[in-house]
Structure 1
């Protein structure tokens, strides 16, 4: 069995962060989202892994390498543009051969991994198996319709009038029969080859498509709100550990991990929280559910329920909450006089300024 991990896409919902960084590499608890998926694939006993990459190929290659750090043997497959999940299967045809495979969306996060569903698929070997979960906004997802016996009878991508609230989670398992399906479908109204259309093609021709409804935690980390929520979920599992230095004037409360080389001076950190290697926290408050990456500087500031990426500097800020702060960002107070705001913002930024 092989794995196909999708790391194409522009990550428009995470802009401006993704103007300069792959969305799959945005960290959760100081580890890229993609790494959690690769670890789950390895834990499921799958080794040969194809990673579909696009414009951010260089970054993904630099972060993942040959896959040996995860116990994987990685092959990179270039996709010239985001043309749909089914198109990723099309371009991976030679790599996949006639093997069964699990397709994993690189920006998805599933607590508990995929070992159980992979074992079930290997044992039962239907033509396809999909993972489903109940969602509050089904128009934003691929949606499955089940009959009274919980058999899959229909699928539709982002329907205007959903027939259920069961969304497809970003993990799919296939036998080689799916290759005929992805070659047979036409682009959708979005101009993409939809995996839901390929699954429907299989259903219409009597193939065995089964589903598993998961009750565990799942998130598509495609926007800031979901990214912060996943960060919160992972931080709740953090084991407290202090490998860096903390002076006597500081207070560490709860599950806080302070990495090697980090320094904390006259500050209060309330967990769950993670402080990255080489980061300096001075005269500051770090609140719960906050991840501070490597080589950051937080001084005379308060920050809570946020993600701060590496080499960012936050100095003299009274309070920051519910924020995603990018690499090498500098955050400082504006001069009191004249009373103006000076902004350098990337495309698609969102800013809230009190008036």
Structure 2
């Protein structure tokens, strides 16, 4: 089976982080979200992947390469102008002509059982299958209405509390038959949610919702980004946390130098080549990116540090996100801040 990974989004709701880092490349436990997506595709037997690109395309290509680090074959489709989620697939249609294929969001963290989804798709002789997830709050997502068999009967875009029909949201994970490509116009901006799915419904195509109980988080804004980091450290999602677990909930990657007088509070992750000085306190719920330096008496709680970050002595950070190469100098306290390349 083949897969399309949508990685061209601009990530406007994650600014300022996405000014320099494309959304699929934002690190979750020191690996880009896209890395975890490719891990899950490999886990379920996918071998060939197409990735569409737009913002910071060189970063995605540079990291994923030809896919050999995952034993995948990865190809790319660059979009000088965004074509929309469905338009992106139309552009690469020949790649998917030989059987049902997956569509995944490059910025969605999930351990969904794609093999089970394929079995569901085949059993129901579905033309297009959407993975849906029951959520507590329906305000931020459109919901999907189904009958008892799972066949999709309608959609509600970001309903109010008065719309009590369903709490099953579209995860952006799809399994599609290649004949569907004929229904997408060429060289046009065309979207799954607003155009293609309603079109399939109007044409009375057999479209089904596969309800997953697996973990799913749309890394679409800063609060969701923080949440998926915490959930990963808590083991709520099946992903590979790098490094050796030196004790319960504390992971340390190769080449990290940690003073015996530093305090590591679980859960936390220390990246490759980091230096943690005496008296520094790391955690809980803190991830330190590769080659970062945390000076003496600094304290970090609920923080995400990208690679090559320097935190000076006696700095106190709480609920902060520091972008790559950021620097926070000595004797300062920062709370509830998303900061990119901070220099003070």
TM interval, short-chain normalised: 0.7 to 0.9
Q: Equivalent residue for 1:290?
A: 286
| Contact 2:283/2:302 (<8 A) preserved | yes
- Give distance in 2, aligned partners of 1:68 and 1:230: 27
Q: Equivalent residue for 1:202?
A: 200
Q: Equivalent residue for 1:172?
A: 174
Q: Equivalent residue for 2:253?
A: 259
Q: Equivalent residue for 1:104?
A: 104
| Contact 1:285/1:303 (<8 A) preserved | yes
Residues 14-73 of structure 1: CA distance to partner in whole angstroms, max 9, x if unpaired? 111111111111111111110111111111111111101112211110000001111211
Matched, 1:310 2:310: no
Matched, 1:134 2:134: yes
- Give distance in 2, aligned partners of 1:61 and 1:32: 13
Q: What is the CA-CA distance between 1:158 and the residue it aligns to? A: 4.2
Residues 251-281 of structure 1: CA distance to partner in whole angstroms, max 9, x if unpaired? x863211111111112100112110111011
Q: Equivalent residue for 2:318?
A: 321
Question: Could you tell me which of 213, 236, 243 is aligned with 1:215?
Answer: 213
1:216-295 correspondence runs (5 A): 216-237=214-235, 254-265=248-259, 266-282=261-277, 283-295=279-291
What's the Cα RMSD here?
2.8
Task: Specify every segment of 5 or more residues in structure 2 that has no aligned partner in the other structure, as ranges.
Answer: 334-338
Q: Equivalent residue for 1:183?
A: 185
Task: Specify every segment of 5 or more residues in structure 1 that has no aligned partner in the other structure, as ranges.
Answer: 244-251, 337-344, 350-355
SS of alignment partner, residue 58 of structure 2: helix
Q: Equivalent residue for 1:247?
A: none
Residues 200-244 of structure 1: CA distance to partner in whole angstroms, max 9, x if unpaired? 22222221111122222210112221112111122223889659x
| Contact 1:317/1:331 (<8 A) preserved | no
Q: Number of residue pairs matched?
A: 328
TM-score w.r.t. structure 1 length?
Answer: 0.83
| Contact 1:276/1:293 (<8 A) preserved | yes
Q: Closer, same or farther in 2 for the Cα pair 1:139/1:119, shift >3 Å?
A: same
| Contact 1:43/1:115 (<8 A) preserved | no
TM-score w.r.t. structure 2 length?
Answer: 0.86
SS of alignment partner, residue 227 of structure 1: helix
